[in-house]
Amino acid sequence: MSIDEGLNFMENPSSNKIKIGISSCLTGENVRFDSGHKRNSFIMNVLASHFQFMPFCPEVEIGLGIPRETIRLVRVDNETRCVGTKTKDLDVTEKLRTCATQQGHWHQELCGYILKKDSPSCGMERVRLYSGDMPERIGVGIYAKELIKNFPYLPVEEEGRLGDAVLRENFIQRVFVYARWKALIRDDFSWKRLTEFHANHKYIYMSHDQNEALDLGRWLANSSKIDSDDLQNTYLEKMMRLLKKRADRKAHTNTLQHIQRHLKTLLEKDDKQELQEVIEQYRNGLLPLIVPITLLKHHFRKNPHPYITNTYYMQPHPSELMLLNTL
């Protein structure tokens, strides 16, 4: 996918929405054990405009009714099982694992997945795991664990964690990068096209971890003779591991300063000073990230630079999401 196609893809999401799996209860479907739902307003009022949700409830899929007996994770002989809270012989562990594997045909089309927190089937982390009557928040939902094992690079998040601005932006950024990656490997993949993809995402990588971004760039530069499948798999593993790291103000400031250097000889003294001050104010927490990025975009519109034009850092996802306003 070219940068122009990618920007069009983000600006006109209705023409080609990115598919995201989601726990059905979060969309308002009455699939909970008590016949209720857990509709999430941010997901349905904001994200639904940009993504095509694929709702799924594994508990309903395996035949548990609505309403139904609640289930929970328990430790049995050093193994985690998912069992009924009332019916002692109700054990749905294997059914949930099998269910996750059977959904692979549509899971592979996804670019992200939003799971229900605390769920013994869908919880991504910190699910109550019982040893006797004393639970510890160390469990992972059975369906969620199998999903992540089958698709280790798929961006996955819980709805509860989306309330954190940094985690929210990190997840959605990974979704868009993963979507562009899948478009890249669908077409005529080559080392040359991968180097273009890398260049377009270089500053995004840098904002997560400068050292790992440099290591990834050096590895790619020396990998032109690697088998195509190995090249894809290794780059994807390194890229998604890097993107899972949280971008902080220090890393963003460093990235902004790198981009600013492309304007060093092009700006008047007053404009240069203003830009430096805005970046410093962002570093000190006085301004959100959108402010220095908007100012940089303004200067690059007046002073076009081919490399910066083709970078996603200053437009990683649709502006309507307003994610950079809270960072």
Q: Are residues 132 and 210 in the same domain?
A: no
- Quickly list H helices, 37-164: 41-45, 58-61, 93-102, 104-107, 142-150
Same domain, 142 and 250: no
Same structural domain, 149 and 184 = no
pLDDT at 13 over 70: no
Q: Which helix (H) or strand (E) holds 170?
A: helix 165-186
Q: Average pLDDT for residues 214-231, to the nearest whole number?
A: 96
* Number of separate domains in the chain: 2
Q: Is residue 170 included in any domain, yes or no?
A: no
Confidence of residue 16 (pLDDT cuts 50, 70, 90): confident
* Shared domain check, 23 and 157: yes
The pLDDT of 274-300, averaged and rounded, is: 96
Structural domain boundaries enclosing 193: 178-327
Single residue among 129, 163, 197 that ends a domain in this structure: 163
Quick check: helix, strand or coil at residue 294? helix
Residue 117 covered by a domain: yes
Which of 259-278 are b and which e, b meaning 16 or more Cβ less than 10 Å from the residue's Cβ? Answer: bbeebeeebeeeebeebeeb
CA–CA distances in Å: residue 263 to residues 217, 266, 284, 300: 23, 5, 22, 8
The reply to whether 169 falls in a domain is no
Cα–Cα distance, 5 to 180 (Å, whole number): 10
190 pLDDT band, cuts 50/70/90, is very high
Span 310-314, mean pLDDT? 90
End of a domain among 113, 135, 163?
163
- Is 108 in the same domain as 206? no
Residues 6 or more apart whose CB falls under 8 angstroms from that of 147 comprise 100, 103, 107, 113, 154, 156
For residue 172, being part of any structural domain is answered with no
In a domain, 23, yes or no: yes
The conformation of residue 247, written as its DSSP 8-state character, comes to P
Q: Global pTM?
A: 0.92
d(CA 137, CA 264): 51
Query: Do 218 and 294 sit in the same domain of this protein?
Result: yes
Last-in-domain residue among 163, 193, 219: 163
Burial letters for 194-208: b for 16+ Cβ neighbours within 10 Å, e otherwise?
A: beebbebbbbbbbbb
What is the predicted pLDDT for the residue at 8?
A: 47
Q: Are 136 and 262 in the same domain? A: no
Quote the tokens at residue 259: 């981009």
pLDDT at 7: 40
DSSP symbols for 189-234 = --HHHHHHHHHHHHHHHHHH-HHHHHHHHHHHHT-TTS-HHHHHHH
Percent of the chain with pLDDT over 70: 95
For residue 14, what pLDDT is reported?
41
Are 112 and 242 part of one and the same domain? Answer: no
Residue 98 lies in a domain: yes
b (16+ CB within 10 A) / e for 31-60: bbbeeeebebeebeebbbebbebbebbbbb
Instruction: Let me know whether 154 and 209 are in one domain.
Output: no
Structural domain contains residue 173 = no
Residues 267 and 306 occupy one common structural domain: yes
Is there a domain that residue 22 lies in? yes
For residue 5, is pLDDT > 50?
A: no
Q: Is there a single domain that holds both residue 235 and residue 121?
A: no
What does the buried/exposed string (b/e) look like for 121-158 if buried means 16 or more CB atoms within 10 Å of the residue's CB? bbbbebbbbbeeeebeeebbbbbbbbbbeebebbbbbb
* Domain identity same for 122 and 182: no
Q: What is the mean pLDDT of the chain?
A: 93
The answer on pLDDT for 256 being more than 60 is: yes
Confidence bin at 132 (pLDDT 50/70/90): confident
Task: Report the percent of the chain where pLDDT is more than 90.
Answer: 87
